[in-house]
Amino acid sequence: MRLEAREVVKVLGKTRALDGASFSTGDQQKVVTLLGPSGGGKSTLLRVLGCLLVADEGDVMVDGAHLPHEEKEALQVRRGNGFVFQGYNLFPHLSALENVALPLREVHGWTQEKARMRALEMLERLGLADHHTKRPAQLSGGQQQRAAIARALAPKPSLLLLDEPTSALDPVMTGEVLDVVSELADVGQQIVLATHEVSFARKVSDWVIFLAQGKVIESRPATDFFANPESQPARDYLAGLGRYR
């Protein structure tokens, strides 16, 4: 995939969450990672790229196609993407199976049997086949996040967007989820990932976009960024995160 943004502005309340953000990735990037300090604009940019939010100003392109500025058209693009957030967002009264199958039926128009079979397939792929009848409260945090990833992948999205998917997990559960993301990247799933897990980002990323105060400070191949960040904010950020690791 190729991602591009030109002078993108997104105002949330009184905050310019994105303040003239511009970047362009290289072609054929499988995993693009958004890095930067908290409040820098990572989550907002992720949502704009996935059409969960529409930019107030500027243009955003995915593989050369301009993302729409109207909600009706944005909804169509949104349905082709998969989203995973740090809070899981599973329906607490439904089983893991139904959490995956329900959107396939209600949003994508799949038949009940087709949705059920796809849900079972994805839960098995994510190591949750033996837990498909359990409700979220009966699953560990790592299992809940894997169920959320199964739900996002079930409709075969062109783009998988992950917003701090491990921030609420302990180290063991974090490792479980990151292993899944790494496996998805290995089989070619296109991923945009917002994270503070720099050691993981270093392993899985093809391209890094570094944001601070709503602006894109660097947009470079991952190997170049981690070997020698060009900006002082990026150097300070990586040094700060690595100080106690």
Q: How confident is the model at residue 8 (pLDDT cuts 50, 70, 90)?
A: very high
Residue 245 reports pLDDT greater than 80: no
- Characterize the bridge pairing of strands 31-35 and 191-194: parallel
Parts of the chain belonging to CATH 3.40.50.300: 1-80+161-245
* CA 78 – CA 55 distance, rounded (Å): 14
Phi (first) and psi of residue 163, to 5 degrees: -110, 105
Q: Is 163 helix (H, G, I), strand (E, B) or coil?
A: strand
- On average, the pLDDT of the chain sits at 92
Q: How far is CA 184 from CA 38, 111, 154, in A?
A: 26, 26, 13
Strands (E), 86-226: 159-163, 191-194, 207-212, 215-221
Range scoring the smallest mean pLDDT among 96-105, 192-201, 233-242: 233-242
Assess whether pLDDT exceeds 90 at residue 166. Answer: no
pLDDT at position 243 over 70:
no
CA distances from 139 to 21, 89, 142, 177 (A): 39, 13, 8, 14
pTM: 0.92
pLDDT, tens digit, 9 for 90 and up, residues 116-130: 999 999 999 999 999
pLDDT the model gives residue 19: 97
pLDDT digits (tens, 9 = 90+) for 45-77: 999 999 999 999 999 999 999 999 888 899 999
Question: Does the pLDDT value for residue 179 go beyond 70?
Answer: yes
Predicted local confidence at residue 196, as pLDDT: 87
What is the Cα–Cα distance from 18 to 212, expressed in whole angstroms? 9
> What fold characterizes domain 1-80+161-245?
Rossmann fold (3.40.50)
Least confident piece of the model among 15-29, 114-128, 206-220, 229-243: 229-243
Give the pLDDT of residue 242. Answer: 58
Within 10 Å of residue 128's Cβ, how many Cβ atoms? 22
CA–CA gap between residue 110 and residue 93 (Å, rounded): 21
Task: Identify the H or E element spanning 3.
Answer: strand 3-12
Percent of the chain, pLDDT > 90? 75
